[in-house]
Chains A and B, each alone.
Chain A
Amino acid sequence: MTWTTRIKLAVGVVLVLALCATLTLVLNRRESQATSAQATIVAEEVAVGTDYAGTIVESYVEPGDTVDEGDPVFTMRSLLLAHDLSIGVVSRKATTYEVTDAGEMTVVAPSDGTVAEISSTPGGFVQAGDVIARLHREGSTTVDAKLLLDPADFARIAPGAPVSITMPDQREVPGEVESISVANTRNRAEATVVIDSATLEQQAGDGLVLPGTPVVASVELHDEGAMADVDLAFQRFLQRIGL
């Protein structure tokens, strides 16, 4: 063998081993993550409605507006309400509405949140018990993710595990597992995970952070294999060099 060949072989072996090592780290990364089959942003919905039939006089908000608890949402006029007032069945002031003597009722927001939907415009008639507006309660934005896991991997998910949520525009948002529920599908665990994310809550209502937006959630699995320390060291190294 000539020296050129020997050097070629040596350099080649080093490169091949480096390639294998990188690919193995990638594999381990993927093995220690579970990626959602389906994940969606959800939020708690609050319905705003009325107990009295009547005509809407004025609407104060539009879909997408942020409201605080107690902010007026709409005013309506109801003859039945005026009658009930006159005989003293209802009081003037309740938690969710204020009533004037003329029988006009102003419905207020029951909690902080974002207006999701307005179903009636001024001049419209509403029946008793109708929902007129829907709010997304502030602080209730979470991600619901469905994961298909091997039983062994299911054991590696724990509440509090870090999650990376990828938005449709490829933005990554951190979060953590809040609760887990599970069903058995063809002997695989179909886990439904609720993910909390402070960042998502702050951005609720902006741009893409709306209930119903599909996202991809990668849940970090508890890693206790031989590669865990190596992987951690590698990640620290990547952080250090700024990647």
Chain B
Amino acid sequence: MTTLDPRAPELPPPAGSPSATPTTTIQGDPRAAARRRDANAAAHSPSLMLIMLLATLGAVAYAVFLLNPDHRGDWLPYSLVLVAESVLLMLALLAMWTVLSSGYDPRDFPYHQARERLFDAPEILRDGATDEPTRWRMFLHDRPVTVDIFITTCGEDVDTIARTVRAAVAVHGEHRTWVLDDGRDDEVRDLAATLGARYIRRLSSGGQKAGNVNHALSIAKGDYFVILDADFVPRTDLLTETVPFFVRDEVAFVQSPQTYGNMNSLISRGAGYMQAVFYRFVQPGRNRFNAAFCVGTNVVFRREAIDDIGGMCTDSKSEDVWTSIHLHEREWRSIYIPQTLAVGDTPETIVSYAKQQLRWATGGFEILLQHNPLSPRRNLTVDQRLQYFVTSTHYLSGIAPLLLLLVPPLTIYLDLTPMQLDVSVGTWALYYLGFYGLQITLAFFTLGSFRWEVLLLAAVSWPIYVKAFWNALTGKQQAWSVTGRAGGATSPFEVIVPQTLCFVFLAVTSAVGFWKHWGDPVPNLSLAWNLTNTIILGGFLVTAAKEHREAMGARRSARRAHRRHARRAAGPPARTVTVGGAA
């Protein structure tokens, strides 16, 4: 550093092109500050407190209702209901507690000060780079910092990668962009060269994404590095928003949310909505306890911190959470900001959704079973222990629906009831809605809407979580035997055999229930539940069938194109073959 001049607080507007940086947050822009607060605005509302209080009361009342010995029915369905509802109640209460803590802004005075002094205006003017924000050097503690952006790819579509690389190169602040290609695609190499990014290809593929990043860290030597998945297109303010946090020496990483741009199928809407709760309220809440964890993309790491724990954790499928817990154990700080800095894709198909959920859930259960955060051997604060415990048990709530699905058939076939028969339907409905109704109200308030797709996905995803639990228990690493290779579409029925069989079971059970209760004067509650469950699973299967048709169509046309290609290479086509090939 050559100049000790105090840097100007405001940059001169880029000469000649006022529209060149419409989305860049220049220091002092009031709208930028407003945008920053928007994502979890509801967390600041006093009404949230009221709804939380009511929802807590509802949850406690429901728990008391279930535990009342006078209401206890037959032990088998009763224990199924009790186990499932206990898990759901406990996680709901803990989640509400976390959400209540989410109205917290991690940006403190040192952050704002560092942000003001991030760029050296005289230097920019001297270099004549006012129009080229990608050349602006960033400073922390008045020393220049070097930043690497890693884009991890593994066989994704070249167009997707190009979009991300182009945006990454254009991120404001001087940085180097690297494409870490595990797909070993020459096309991607040429693409990186064209777009001005560096290209790294490693010989082995051990450790998956974490191994890929670790390998890149042995080549790229920047002070900070960003990890982006191939489909996450960064905004230009990615670095200017995050790098100032590192002015505090104990900050190990800054995480920003995964925002999705493709909410256009039932699966992606459901999955995206579930993620929205997590990124808008849960992560900011965890931030307060210094327990926000890394989610593998849209994250800026301090290299020194990763060196401190010996590189990214490569032992697990969910290297991100493991890396975070190791960092927290070494007393590093983590920062989460609920502000969109990159937009990507959420799973659109059942197959990709199942793959993603399996990976995440296995990671959660692995922490619970192999690295229990409540164990006294962990060097974590009480807050962090609780928050990691919630993370590791969160996917148990995905197994709960399986237990609840079994209760109505038990009543229909065997007359075993979870509750005493003299508990009237009205009483039950009152307590039940006291819990679930208020949870939905809460969702309405915090996110502005409630999507039935979430309920649908939550009710039908249990086979994924059961499998994840089993994998974590047995230490089975090989995750999913059927993977949708890039270009080759996979039928969703490959991964939803349990749901299909469950649907058949419930449908037959409903029919038997109708036969059993034919002519009864009062409608039967267990039959109504069973019908609801049948319809939910049926709706899911309709979605799957639609996807199956699309996948088959895609595969057929791919095959046809391939065949046509082969034929063209072979010689003049025979007319009869064309007819046969189309069939």
Contact = CB atoms under 8 A, between A and B. Distances in A.
Contacts of A173: none
B311 to A, nearest CB: 38
Interface stretch (B151-159, B254-262, B489-497, B575-583): B489-497
Interface stretch (A25-33, A39-47, A79-87, A121-129): A25-33
Given A9-B500, A12-B497, A27-B516, A20 B505 contact: yes
Given A26-B413, A27-B413, A9 B497 contact: yes
Interface SS, B side = helix
Contacts of B20: none
B83 interface: no
A232 interface: no
Interface string A5-48: 10011001101110110011011001100000000000000000
A23 B497 CA distance: 22
A181 interface: no
A24 B512 contact: yes
A19 B505 contact: yes
A23 B504 contact: no
B413 A5 contact: no
B414 A23 contact: yes
Contact of B508 (A9, A20, A26): A20
A19 B504 CA distance: 11
Given A24-B413, A26-B413, A16 B493 contact: no
Interface residues of B, number: 19
Contacts of A17: 504, 508
A170 interface: no
A9 B414 CA distance: 26
A243 interface: no
Nearest to A6: B493
A2 B504 contact: no
A26 B409 CA distance: 13
A89 interface: no
Interface residues of A, number: 18
Contacts of B497: 5, 8-9, 12
Nearest to B548: A1
A27 B505 CA distance: 15
B339 interface: no
Contacts of B548: 1
Contact of B414 (A13, A15, A26): A26
A31 B494 contact: no
A53 to B, nearest CB: 56
Interface-centre pick from A2, A12, A20 (highest chain B CB count, 10 A) = A20
Contacts of B500: 9, 12
B385 to A, nearest CB: 41
A20 B512 contact: yes
B509 interface: yes
B414 A5 contact: no
A17 B503 CA distance: 11
Contacts of B414: 23, 26-27, 30
Given A1-B494, A5-B493, A20-B512, A13 B415 contact: no
Contact of B516 (A5, A16, A19, A31): A31
B191 to A, nearest CB: 34
Nearest to B412: A27
B486 interface: no
B501 A13 contact: yes
Contacts, number: 48
Interface string B486-525: 0000010110010011001100110010001000000000
Interface SS, A side = helix
A1 B491 contact: yes
Contacts of A16: 501, 504-505, 508
Contacts of B504: 13, 16-17
Given A16-B505, A24-B413, A9 B493 contact: yes
Contacts of B516: 27, 31
Given A1-B493, A8-B497, A31-B516, A20 B415 contact: no
Nearest to B481: A4
Contacts of B409: 23
Given A16-B501, A20-B505, A5 B494 contact: yes
B494 A12 contact: no
Given A1-B491, A9-B497, A12-B501, A30 B508 contact: no
Nearest to A25: B413
A23 B413 CA distance: 6
Nearest to B493: A1
A119 to B, nearest CB: 44
Interface string B432-464: 000000000000000000000000000000000
B494 A2 contact: yes
A112 to B, nearest CB: 44
Contacts of B413: 23-24, 26-27
Interface in A134-159: none
Contacts of A15: 501
Contacts of A23: 409, 413-414, 512
A19 B500 CA distance: 15
Contacts of B509: 20
B415 to A, nearest CB: 7
A30 B505 contact: no
B424 to A, nearest CB: 14
Contacts of B512: 20, 23-24, 27
Nearest to B500: A9
Given A12-B501, A17-B508, A30 B415 contact: yes
A99 to B, nearest CB: 63
B537 to A, nearest CB: 13
A16 B506 CA distance: 10
Contacts of A1: 491, 493-494, 548
B519 to A, nearest CB: 8
A27 B515 CA distance: 11
A15 B500 CA distance: 13
Nearest to B520: A150
A133 B500 CA distance: 71
A123 B497 CA distance: 84
Contacts of A31: 516
B493 to A, nearest CB: 5
Nearest to A152: B519
Contacts of A20: 505, 508-509, 512
Interface string B70-90: 000000000000000000000
Contacts of A19: 505
Smallest CB-CB A-B distances: 5 pairs: A23-B413, A20-B508, A12-B501, A1-B491, A16-B505
21 contacts: A1-B493, A2-B494, A5-B491, A5-B494, A5-B497, A8-B497, A9-B500, A13-B504, A16-B501, A16-B504, A17-B504, A19-B505, A23-B409, A23-B414, A26-B413, A26-B414, A27-B412, A27-B413, A27-B512, A27-B516, A31-B516
Given A12-B500, A20-B508, A24-B512, 4 more contacts: A16-B501, A16-B508, A26-B414, A30-B415
